[in-house]
Amino acid sequence: MKVLVVGGAGYIGSHMSKCLVRNGHQVVVLDDLSTGYRSAVRYGALIEGSIGNPDCLNRVFGEHAFDAVMHFASFIQVGESVREPARYYRNNLANTQNLLDAMREHGAGNFVFSSTAAIFGEPAQVPIDEGVPSAPINPYGRSKWMVEQMLADYEHAYGLQSVCLRYFNAAGADPEGELGERHDPETHLIPLVLQAASGRRPAISVFGTDYDTPDGTCIRDYVHVDDLCAAHLLALQRLWQGGGSGRYNLGNGNGFSVREVIDTARRVTGRDIPLRFEPRRAGDPARLVADSGRARRELGWQPARGDLETIIADAWRWELAYPWR
């Protein structure tokens, strides 16, 4: 199959391109390199361009017949989305509509969308299954939820089949050391902790120690990026085989607190990790843990690298390679 990977120069998109090629598929990456890296495109041909440009999309779809499109080109910083909501609605929502319209115009079906647990906001229950009401509390989460609703409408009106995958906390790095996480600025806990361990950061901030959790710090569900890619591949197979659209939560089903992540990182790295204790951040729920039963039942997804030590060890190998090739 030929697959267009939008945002394939970024963290998850670059890992997905490798997964697709390793499984015998042809990959074309479309990325404007605003947050991604040319050097991360190691699998597939890179087209430098933006889904915000309809002319670019028409050219790409005119030159290639795609069997499927995977979309990873969203902005993801919650705090920035609150400060700059226009930027998030333009990129995450309006530009996604450009992409969907180009697919319709050129007869391309089968769409896999990178969604987020942020669509649930302050969840009514934990673990969170797909029946928990969506109630996002920031523009980032709302922009993703709006795309999910748009996809339902596009399926009803135009027959576009899609799978939305709601990640919890993507983490880890390519076990072979080729690819990893390098956001700028970095906002994810595990790479920040490992930067403190390697000396690239003076300390790690712990936001809040008085949550209603066993050790007082927030609990999150971390899922290895390779396991996320496996879920995307299974989602594509579902679409190719006529299984129809679907919406799935992706996590390990195990929550780890901020302190547990830091303690595990200390064991894995054998290094001290200085801490700074700061007040809670607004909008941080105490617990976010996925119920991924539907993905396991309907897609046959089984995370293979789900334990926290493996996730951190893979990410640490990547951190030790800094500056990355």
Domain ranges of the chain: 2-170+222-250, 172-221+253-320
Q: How does pLDDT run across 106-124, given as a tens digit for each residue?
A: 999 899 999 999 999 988 8
Q: Which residues contact 285 (CB under 8 A, 6 or more apart)?
A: 121, 122, 123, 218
Distance CA 180, CA 319 (A): 8
Work out the average pLDDT over 166-195.
94
Distance CA 61, CA 217 (A): 47
- Return the closest-CA partner of residue 261 out of 194, 207, 201: 194
Cα 76 → chain centroid: 9
Strands (E), 58-202: 68-71, 111-116, 162-167, 169-171
140 is catalytic: yes
What's residue 139's pLDDT?
A: 95
Q: What is the value of pTM for the model shown?
A: 0.95
Catalytic residue from among 140, 154, 222, 248 = 140
Distance CA 251, CA 220 (A): 10
Distance CA 68, CA 45 (A): 16
Max Cα distance, the chain (Å): 56
Cβ 287 vs Cβ 148: under 8 Å: no
Work out the average pLDDT over 187-204.
96
Answer whether 2-170+222-250 and 172-221+253-320 agree in fold: no
- Return the closest-CA partner of residue 277 out of 221, 199, 215: 215
Answer whether CATH 3.90.25.10 is correct for domain 172-221+253-320: yes
Task: Indicate if the pLDDT at residue 208 is higher than 90.
Answer: yes
Answer whether CATH 1.10.287.110 is correct for domain 2-170+222-250: no
Alpha-carbon distances of 262 from 67, 204, 214, 309, rounded to whole Å: 42, 9, 15, 11
- From the number of C-beta atoms within 10 Å of its C-beta (0-12, 13-18, 19+), residue 218 rates as buried
What's residue 214's pLDDT?
A: 96
Work out the average pLDDT over 220-240.
97
What's residue 27's pLDDT?
A: 98
Work out the average pLDDT over 11-17.
98
